Amino acid sequence: MIYISKFRANDLNPSKGKQIEFNKKVIEEFFHFTNNDYFVEFECCSINNPTIKTNVKTHLRLSPARGDYKIYQNADSSIDLKDYLLEKLQLNISNIDDYFAIKEKGINKYAFYYIPKNSLFDNFFQIANNNPILFLSQEKEEKNIASKEGLQIIFYGAPGTGKSYTINETTKDESVIRTTFHPDSDYSTFVGAYKPTTIQVTMRDVAGHKIIEGGEEVKEDRIVYEFVNQAFLQAYIQAWKFYAKAAEDAEPQKQYLIIEEINRGNCAQVFGDLFQLLDRNSTGFSDYPIYTDTDMKKQLCKAFDGLSIPQSERINNLYNGRQITEQVLKGEILLLPDNLYIWATMNTSDQSLFPVDSAFKRRWEWQYMPIGKGYDDNGNELNWKISVGTNEYDWWSFIEKINLQIGSTTNSEDKKLGFFFCKAENGYISAETFVGKVIFYLWNDVFKDYGFDGTIFKDTDGGTLSFDKFYKADRNGKAIVQNEKIDLFLNNLGVEIINEEEKEEDEKADQSGTYTKRHLQVVFPNGEIIEHNNSTTTLLEVINKIGPSKVEALNILISGYKLISKTPITDDKGYGQSQRSIKDGYLVLTKFSTDAKLAKIQEISDKLNLGLKVKVIEM
């Protein structure tokens, strides 16, 4: 089979933030992908010069929000498909009416043809031979997916799987109204209700005359009740206003209503009669409008005053010519338009708060968010570490091992941890964060109903590693995390220490053979001090504060590699493995000693005239 399509604007946009992507229909009918990630090879050529070929390796990753696959930059910075189009073929946005074709050649191997519009029928079908042809317009298909399948989605999965992040990334350039459900949420807090407010009115005497003092009317505060729109009505009104702004043949701007933690509220109570609106027809409008009460009608009529819908005839025809848009603008009915998207998140670990009934479930698309490794915005893998004293542990290794324990203990996926269960700072999860969030969750939400008899809960004295043992109180009563208990738990779980080499680099032996722990202290001219018990953490925080782009511009090298860049290192000496992610998508090389780190920070300070004071602290 051969797949043919016009280019999309993003395909020819020089910005690396605008990826080439293939929509769900193309994936299902042509590529047949089922996993989250694929590395494929394209043999690329222009139809005008089919004998001149360029081999391009690409990394495609699933975007769960819509089921499409995006092409990300290659980790080794080799030429990707967008580079081929923009640099090799010198295409730009003026080529938007040209075509491309893809033909399968083997497992994860394809031929990619660039087809200028004026060459489409002259040369291409000589190459196509007898292959069946799949012709899909991605742009049109994406609109269909958005209007039919993506209007009401619940993103569900284990805590930390990136549900909110996925929504934020998908809607970052859109109009968004956000709310969070909780056990006290109800119809009035979701839709709208009368609330007390104060206004100033002129005071009058018993005869009704205005009271004047000093030539001015005397005012007093008076409590009145006004109807206040909540998240649903705010989004609903804005969606119809976007329709009023759209030309007769134009797509209206999208409006998103995002509901975080939808199952923490009683959905039947919160949605009330709005439940009926969730039934959408094939065009994305509500099948069954509902009539409003007097108060809401008054509020909607006020909000829509002076508006008209250029596409009224088309919309009315969906309801057998009924003057539906007139009723909407008069506030007589509620009717969800096809540009109003209601997306929600659901933690499976919280599903018992308020069980969602089957009738409610049927009105939503359900998008499962699997547990997987974390990536930054540039598609680089996040190599987060757990920092426990002088030891470091791989966060993903911990996630994999603890999830095996959770699955075997609970026989369920609900309580497992996602990669983003807690946040790292400069690529590190501190001992305090690990105990306060992760250990607390495991002990109090996961294992408490199953007991702590497993080997992972064994203390050194043969007893049970209870939660209170992870803390001790100092003389002031402050809770201090006990690193040795974290080490014990991770060792019981089989998570290995990964920083023995760095540990040695941060230690120095005296003449007697005694090792002293050494770390860096950096003092800025304003008196701010950056100091951690790990020199790598200090280095990363200093670079973040100075600005990664400024430091990169200095082109500082370590063993022939750049100290900081956006390009992952591929080597067999461990330099690439030592790269740590910091802000703005940069990676910092950390495979060198404390003394070398001091020298590099001093070099940065000298070249940028920062006046930093850097020294080694020995303990």
* Residue-range domain boundaries for the chain: 2-143, 150-185+236-347, 193-228, 385-498, 514-618
Using only the alpha carbons of the chain, give its radius of gyration: 30
pLDDT digits (tens, 9 = 90+) for 408-437: 998 888 899 999 999 899 889 999 999 999
Q: Mapping DSSP to helix (H, G, I), strand (E, B) and coil, where does residue 345 land? A: strand
Residue 382 banded pLDDT, cuts 50, 70, 90: confident
The answer to pTM > 0.85 is no
At residue 28, the pLDDT reads 86
Element (H, E) at 487: helix 483-493
**Which residues, in sequence order, are bridge partners of residue 121?**
none
The tens digit of pLDDT for each residue in 476-523 reads 889 999 999 999 999 899 887 775 444 445 555 454 445 466 889 999
Residue 53 has pLDDT above 60, yes or no: yes
Q: Please write the tens of the pLDDT for every residue from 257-290.
A: 999 999 889 998 999 999 999 999 989 999 999 9
HEC readout, 167-201: HHHHHCCCEEEEEECCCCCCHHHHCEEEEEEEEEE
- Residue 490, SS3 per DSSP: helix
Q: What is the pLDDT of residue 526?
A: 92
Per-residue pLDDT band at 383 (split at 50, 70, 90):
confident
Nearest to 148 by CA among 340, 280, 342, 288: 280
Q: Which two tokens stand for residue 92?
A: 């730009």
- By CB atoms closer than 10 A (0-12, 13-18, 19+), residue 294 is exposed
Tell whether domain 150-185+236-347 is in CATH 3.10.180: no
> Edge to edge, what strands does the sheet with 580-581 contain?
564-565, 587-588, 580-581
How far is C-alpha 171 from the geometric centre of its chain's CA atoms? 10
Please name the fold of domain 2-143: At1g16640 B3 domain (2.40.330)
